[in-house]
């Protein structure tokens, strides 16, 4: 008992060093175990900003924690050794052996395992508690850590672990895996995951799939009076109108509403802008790149024979990515036994097959295309078309495009 009392200062110092060792060990686990969600929560507090500042330089943080822990462990074993020497001088051999085993056991349990376990389970709270002490230690140990890093650590890493060459690009399959895995872990929500996936699939989609069909395009002839062109823009609620000469397949440019208002032209030729022609098999990804690089606002889409098949704008590209986030849009809905509500973009052939009716002989694949080809005018709510025992009635029109159609079997 007298021996223990005499060594009490050393024992107190050992307990203190043990606590500091636990601080460094736990901090190492906590800081490098922070999830994306934890980091978002930490942005709201001043202490959290300190945590984020520390983990923004992971190598420096790791060097500080490892170096600090190493110094404390060396001091711990030095103090333990001094106590052991004092005990050995008094002939307490058994006590010395027991003391050494207990000292090592205490360091493993209270200096490593326990603090790391607590830090792993409560990473955010542990980081908030230790942020400022770690920050101070980093500032104090920075000069020594920098010298050690330059003189010893970097050369040793180069000798024992050759640099792994980095790939120039992340493969599409790898990127898909990352998005899918991030969605499962809750790092991004389902809508964000779907949005990113759609962007990645732009390379597979073709312009033909997202363009505005030829029958939906508002056009005018080159010799049309400026007043009539402006009235057409106003009534159809469009700002740009393609201009053709003699035939709709002979597009000579387009007119922008802004030019008519600001330049007060006498004829279309005074404000005619040039347009570009792109194939309908071009990928949507390359179309988006084209718009962004050239600053063009629209492009006429041509088929394999050179005829005009549609029109595409950057708005069409964006809508192809985000259209699914406005709510569920069923293209075919059965209202009653003999009545259906169809989306204007719904496939005419698909609907006819669904209700087991013979195919309609027409050059148009969509419901809206079929209606416009028969009415031969800009669609209006209430317009109807009859074909055999079918009655098509326009229910909703948005920006000159048919949104929904009611079909009755008579």
* The predicted structure's pLDDT at residue 360: 59
Which carries the bigger pLDDT value, residue 194 or residue 33? 33
Q: Give the span between the Cα atoms of 127 and 32, in whole angstroms.
A: 10
Of the segments 126-130, 144-148, 282-286, 402-406, which one has the largest average pLDDT value?
126-130
pLDDT digit string (tens) for 319-368?
777 654 444 445 677 788 788 888 877 777 667 766 666 555 555 567 77
Higher-scoring residue by pLDDT: 164, 18: 18
R_g of the chain, CA atoms, integer Å: 37
Residue range 285-296: mean pLDDT, rounded: 85
More confident residue, 55 or 352: 55
Q: Tell me the mean pLDDT in the region 288-310.
A: 86
Residue 204 has pLDDT above 50, yes or no: yes
Q: How confident is the model at residue 117, as a pLDDT?
A: 92
| Mean pLDDT for the stretch of residues 72-101 | 77
Percent of the chain topping pLDDT 70 = 80
- 376 or 41: whose pLDDT is higher? 41
Pairing of strands 401-409, 390-398: antiparallel
Q: What is the mean pLDDT of residues 373-392?
A: 80
Phi, then psi, of 400 in degrees rounded to 5: 70, 10
Q: Is the pLDDT of residue 114 over 90?
A: yes
CA-CA distances (angstroms) from residue 208 to 201, 297, 304, 350? 15, 17, 12, 18
* Residue 373 reports pLDDT greater than 80: no
Contact 341/335 with Cβ under 8 angstroms? yes
pLDDT in tens, 214-227: 878 888 999 999 99
Mean pLDDT value across the chain = 80
Domains of the chain, with CATH numbers?
2-160 (no CATH), 172-203 (no CATH), 209-322 (3.10.580.10), 328-409 (3.30.465.10)
What was the pLDDT predicted at 24? 92
185 exposed, middle or buried (CB, 10 Å; 0-12, 13-18, 19+)? exposed
Q: Output b/e per residue, 381-400; b: 16+ Cβ within 10 A.
A: eebebeeeebebbbbebeeb
Q: Which of 28-32, 153-157, 379-383 has the highest mean pLDDT?
A: 28-32
- Which pLDDT does position 172 carry in this prediction? 58
Are 403 and 383 in contact, with CB atoms under 8 Å apart?
A: no
Enter the tokens of residue 311: 């029109």
pLDDT of residue 325: 46
The pTM of this model reads 0.44
The pLDDT tens digits for 238-271 are: 888 999 998 888 999 999 988 888 888 889 989 9
pLDDT confidence of residue 361: 57
Q: What is the pLDDT of residue 264?
A: 86
């Amino acid at each position: 008992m007298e021996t223990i009392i005499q060594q009490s200062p050393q024992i107190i110092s050992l307990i203190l060093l043990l606590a500091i060792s636990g601080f460094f060990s736990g901090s190492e686990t906590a800081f490098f175990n922070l999830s994306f969600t934890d980091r978002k929560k930490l942005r709201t507090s001043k202490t959290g900003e300190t945590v984020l500042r520390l983990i923004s330089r992971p190598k420096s943080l790791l060097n500080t924690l490892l170096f600090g822990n190493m110094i404390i462990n060396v001091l711990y074993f030095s103090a333990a050794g001094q106590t052991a020497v004092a005990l050995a001088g008094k002939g307490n051999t058994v006590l010395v052996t027991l003391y050494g085993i207990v000292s090592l056991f205490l360091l493993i349990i209270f200096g490593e395992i326990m603090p790391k376990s607590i830090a792993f389970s409560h990473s955010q709270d542990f980081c908030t508690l230790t942020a400022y002490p770690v920050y101070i230690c980093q500032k104090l140990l920075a000069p020594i850590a920098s010298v050690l890093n330059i003189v010893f650590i970097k050369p040793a890493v180069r000798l024992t672990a050759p640099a792994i060459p980095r790939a120039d690009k992340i493969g599409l399959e790898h990127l898909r895996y990352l998005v899918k895995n991030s969605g499962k872990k809750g790092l991004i929500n389902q809508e964000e995951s779907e949005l990113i996936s759609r962007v990645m699939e732009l390379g597979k989609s073709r312009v033909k799939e997202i363009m505005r069909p030829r029958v939906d395009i508002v056009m005018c002839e080159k010799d049309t009076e400026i007043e009539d062109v402006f009235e057409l823009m106003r009534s159809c609620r469009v700002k740009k109108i393609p201009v053709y000469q003699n035939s709709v397949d002979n597009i000579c440019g387009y007119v922008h509403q802004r030019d008519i208002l600001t330049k007060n032209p006498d004829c279309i030729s005074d404000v005619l802008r040039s347009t570009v022609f792109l194939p309908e098999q071009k990928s949507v990804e390359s179309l988006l790149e084209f718009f962004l690089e050239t600053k063009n606002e629209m492009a006429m889409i041509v088929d394999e024979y050179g005829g005009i098949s549609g029109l595409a704008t950057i708005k069409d590209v964006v809508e192809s990515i985000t259209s699914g986030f406005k709510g569920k849009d069923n293209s075919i809905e059965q209202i009653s036994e003999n009545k259906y509500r169809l989306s204007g973009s719904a496939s005419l052939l698909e609907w006819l097959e669904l209700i087991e009716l013979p195919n309609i002989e027409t050059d148009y694949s969509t419901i809206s295309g079929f209606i416009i080809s028969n009415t031969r005018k800009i669609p209006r709510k209430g317009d109807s078309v009859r074909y055999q025992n079918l009655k098509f009635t326009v229910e909703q029109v948005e920006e000159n495009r048919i949104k929904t159609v009611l079909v009755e079997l008579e």
